[in-house]
Amino acid sequence: MRKLSRYTTIMALSLPFAALAQEKIDAAMMQKIRKEGLENSKVMEIAFNLTDKSGNRLMNSPGYFRAANYAKDALTSWGVSGAKLDPFGEFGKGWELEKSYVAITAPYYKPLLAFPKAWCGGTKGQKSAEVIVISAKDTVALEAYKGKLKGKIIILDQPTDYKHSFKPDAFRYTDEELAKMAAEQPQAPRQAANPADTAAMRRMREQMAARGGGGAARVGALLKEMAKNEGAIALLSSGGVRSHDGTIFAQGGGAYKGTDPENFLDLALGLEDFNTILRLAKSGTPVKMDVDVKTKFYDKDLQGYNVIAEIPGTDPALKDEVVMIGGHLDSWQTGTGATDNASGSAVMMEAMRILKTLGIQPKRTIRIGLWGGEEQGLHGSRGYVKNTFGDISTMQTTPAHAKFSSYFNIDNGTGKIRGIYLQGNAQAKGIFTEWLAPFKDLGATTVTIANTGGTDHQSFDAIGLPGFQFIQDPIEYNQRTHHSNMDVYDHLIEEDLKQIATIVAAFAYNAAQREAKIPRKEMPKPRPAGGRNF
């Protein structure tokens, strides 16, 4: 592509502001943000510290605190104020895998890639055991296996068919797909989803339905109870239809509250290895395995923590008003959570670094939140919102609620920003359209009225605060990295992360400098505890 001169670039950036005069946008500042974010980026260094150096960031694990403390210290070193680990309420136990060795020893030897699910106990040393197949479609059929599980490794007769893919894992939105998003019409307000309804949980429901629905879940729960009581060694699980070609998806193995007992050892395998063991065992061929798993629980401090820091506002009339940016810091245990969501945390930290490096003096306070416990149900952001702004069960709000402008979130992988979801807030459409105009050449143009779910902006939206998630290119998120052992640093795209951090920094700046706060939707009705919330 032909390179533009610096003068031509500045003129091109200025054109949208002449055509769209409603928003007062500082074109010179947009150019400074672009230059710092695209040419002097530290985003990959930040991502390295959050992933390779910290390890996985399962909530309340040592890796989570390594990353949280790194974030706090890095923000402080850049001059961001008041960086701290901020308690949001009780979460539960931390958990860490200390050792894992799994192999087939008969009818031949084969080492296996297997990941214990989080919050499971271990084997208390290496165990050698024969595999037993459980063929039970309901809890009544399961009764036939009582007394037969001691010393066994259990596999359910639930093969997962391998589906060849003829599509690339990584892809970007087409112009037609973005145009379809932009053309969406407002939907009637609805109380749609449970507050703990993350994208991961919805995917788990889909997989459960594919395997027979709630009945299969009840069989699995009862089987684990039987296995634990009878002294079985472990349960083998398939990671689902996506767990192929060396990719394994493994999440939680059960409850994690302070008083909850250790969960029975549940080992996630790739579907090829799972199906191999199942076929052999069902054929009558004895299958033996060695398993040696050691896990550790952390229960001295059951509180959950977010990382909070800010650039204080300077305008006497507006400095108490707040603009927030953020993403969740925690991950699951198989990879290092690079695209879910070190990418989001890294770009938000980088956005704060950009703004501090440029020496901005924002009118409103710009605050960053890196959330804990998102993977288990948005716990960190929900706790922060409740502690700071109000309770969704009563819709009784604090004075800080009235002084809040907007929250912007990243949590859809490494793909660059293509636009923003309005979350049904039609009044923000013209504002965000103008804010995106300087970044048209970077591929960010689309503003859609549509809602998107499964992440932390919902915590703000649920209490009537403007909360937004950006549209990102999917890349290989759902196909390969999301909650898998492949979610590691190498799957990050540097140029995309630079683009994201640059646009987020610009949005935070514009929101902080704007004469008025971002318009709000109608205040939601109270949502009693236990009801269907958001």
Q: Round to whole Å and give the CA distance between 237 and 234.
A: 10
pLDDT tens for 11-48 read 344 444 333 448 999 999 999 999 999 999 999 999 99
Rounded CA separation 371/349 (Å): 13
In 3-state terms, what secondary structure has residue 302? coil
Residue 99 lies in a domain: yes
Considering the domain architecture, whether residues 328 and 394 belong to the same structural domain is answered as yes
What CATH number does the domain containing 223 carry? 3.50.30.30
Q: Is the pLDDT of residue 356 over 80?
A: yes
Predicted local confidence at residue 188, as pLDDT: 66
Q: How confident is the model at residue 530 (pLDDT cuts 50, 70, 90)?
A: low
Residue 288 forms beta bridges with which residues? 106, 130
Q: Are residues 477 and 388 in the same domain?
A: yes
Give the Cα separation of 356 and 350 in Å (integer).
10
pLDDT of 312 higher than 50: yes
pLDDT reported for residue 527: 85
Residues 504, 454: one domain? yes
Please check whether residues 419 and 272 belong to one and the same domain. Answer: no
CA dist., res. 191 & res. 197, Å (int):
12
Helix (H, G, I), strand (E, B) or coil at 322: strand
Residue-level pLDDT at 241: 84
Q: 107 lies in a domain?
A: yes
Residue 438 resides in a domain: no
219, 294: one domain:
yes
Over residues 96-109, mean pLDDT: 98
Phi and psi angles of residue 306, each rounded to the nearest 5 degrees, phi first: -105, 165
Closest CA to 449 of 417, 409, 419: 419
Identify the domain boundary among 256, 273, 298: 298
Assess whether 460 and 421 both reside in one domain.
yes
Here the tokens at position 470 are 């950006």
Could you tell me the residue range of the domain that residue 425 belongs to?
41-91+302-429+447-513
Structural domain includes residue 342: yes
Within-domain flag for 24: no
Residue 531 has pLDDT above 90, yes or no: no
pLDDT at position 189: 58
Give the residue, 502 or 207, on which the prediction is more confident.
502
- pLDDT tens sequence across 132-148: 999 988 889 999 999 99
| pLDDT confidence of residue 208 | 45
Q: Check whether 219 has a pLDDT greater than 90.
A: no
Evaluate whether residue 131 is within a structural domain.
yes
Provide, rounded to the nearest whole percent, the portion of the chain with pLDDT above 90: 83
Does residue 352 sit in the same domain as residue 244?
no
Same domain for 83 and 104, yes or no, is no
Residue 252 is assigned to a structural domain of this protein: yes
Same domain (yes/no): 52, 105 = no
Find the CATH number of the domain harbouring 69: 3.40.630.10
Residue 108 sits at the vertex; the CA angle it makes with 104 and 112, to the nearest 5 degrees, is: 30
How many structural domains comprise the chain? Answer: 2
Q: Which of 269, 298, 327 is the last residue of a domain?
A: 298
pLDDT at 218: 84
Same domain, 400 and 481: yes
- Examine the domain organization and report whether 393 and 509 are in the same domain: yes
Looking at per-residue pLDDT, the higher value among 165 and 7 belongs to 165
Q: Which of 241, 273, 298 is the last residue of a domain?
A: 298
Token couple for 256:
């994690």
Examine the domain organization and report whether 381 and 480 are in the same domain.
Answer: yes
List pLDDT tens digits, range 276-291.
999 999 999 999 999 9
Is 52 part of any domain?
A: yes
Burial of 194 (0-12, 13-18, 19+ CB in 10 A): middle
SS3 484: strand
